[in-house]
């Protein structure tokens, strides 16, 4: 039995506009189905991932614990991505990064993201280099997400751990340690899905054994299980498929 990473969920005040921003920035199409707005990675590249935009009333007020890093192929490509992001409504921001070779930016709703300088490790990731999670203990959190996604540990540098899908395609899942504990509900969270022939509740039980717990965030009667990972980050276990 296993679950796999399928979605990055954005809580958005204007999901249509934010989906359009990320679609234009990544080059992925907007797909509206099942009452939600998705920006969908091309499955022809050998991996699956949707950026899903859910409407919320609350505006973003604190720095996100989960953010996206964008890949670039050359210094000129990095500069073009930064300029395109600005033209689409993003802006450079200072989160205390100092003098670094990547550009830290905020999308039109204030969600932080980084446009990275060219790095060999991201050459086959597509436009999305990594999903980055701030952690108190990166090693502990990475161990749980290996169980939740089926990704493999590939990079460990100081207090950072990088996970990669077994087929070596698509974005990395990275954990940066040394941060303070989570205090508010995340604006971005991850969804995982069991295989079509697996049992959802068996997978929920397996993730509980790995350190997650079921939580109530006001979801009422939904077909997915809302859980929190060992550091309290929300994660949904979807129905098999």
Domains observed in the chain:
3-237 (3.10.180.10)
User: What is the value of pTM for the model shown?
Assistant: 0.96
Measure the CA–CA gap between 17 and 226, rounded to whole angstroms: 26
DSSP 82: H
CA–CA separation, 25 and 128 (whole Å): 10
Low-confidence residues in the chain, pLDDT < 70: 1
The whole-number pLDDT of residue 108 equals: 98
Burial degree of 38 (CB within 10 A; 0-12, 13-18, 19+): buried
Tally of residues, the chain: 241
pLDDT tens-digit series, residues 164-189: 999 999 999 999 999 999 999 999 99
Those residues whose C-beta lies under 8 Å from the C-beta of residue 137, and which sit 6 or more positions away, are 177, 231
Q: Any long-range contacts for 34-40 (C-beta under 8 Å, 24+ apart)?
A: 38/7
pLDDT of 1: 67
């Amino acid at each position: 039995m296993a679950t796999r990473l399928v979605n990055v969920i954005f809580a958005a005040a204007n999901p249509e506009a934010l989906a359009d921003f990320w679609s234009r920035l990544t080059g992925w199409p907007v797909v509206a189905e099942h009452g939600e707005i998705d920006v969908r990675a091309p499955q022809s590249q050998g991996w699956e991932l949707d950026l899903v935009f859910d409407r919320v009333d609350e505006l973003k007020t604190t720095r996100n614990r989960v953010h996206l890093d964008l890949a670039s192929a050359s210094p000129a490509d990095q500069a073009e991505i930064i300029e395109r992001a600005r033209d689409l409504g993003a802006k450079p921001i200072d989160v205390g990064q100092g003098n670094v070779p990547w550009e830290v930016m905020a999308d039109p709703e204030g969600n932080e993201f980084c446009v990275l300088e060219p790095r060999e490790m991201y050459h086959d990731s597509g436009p999305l280099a990594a999903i980055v999670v701030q952690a108190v203990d990166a090693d502990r959190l990475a161990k749980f997400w290996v169980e939740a996604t089926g990704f493999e540990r590939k990079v460990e540098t100081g207090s950072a751990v990088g996970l990669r899908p077994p087929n070596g395609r698509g974005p990395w899942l990275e954990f940066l340690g040394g941060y303070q504990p989570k205090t508010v509900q995340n604006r971005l969270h991850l969804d995982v899905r069991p295989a079509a022939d697996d049992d959802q509740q068996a997978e929920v039980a397996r993730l509980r054994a790995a350190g997650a717990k079921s939580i109530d965030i006001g979801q009422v009667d939904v077909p997915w299980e809302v859980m929190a990972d060992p550091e309290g980050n929300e994660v949904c276990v979807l129905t098999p498929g």
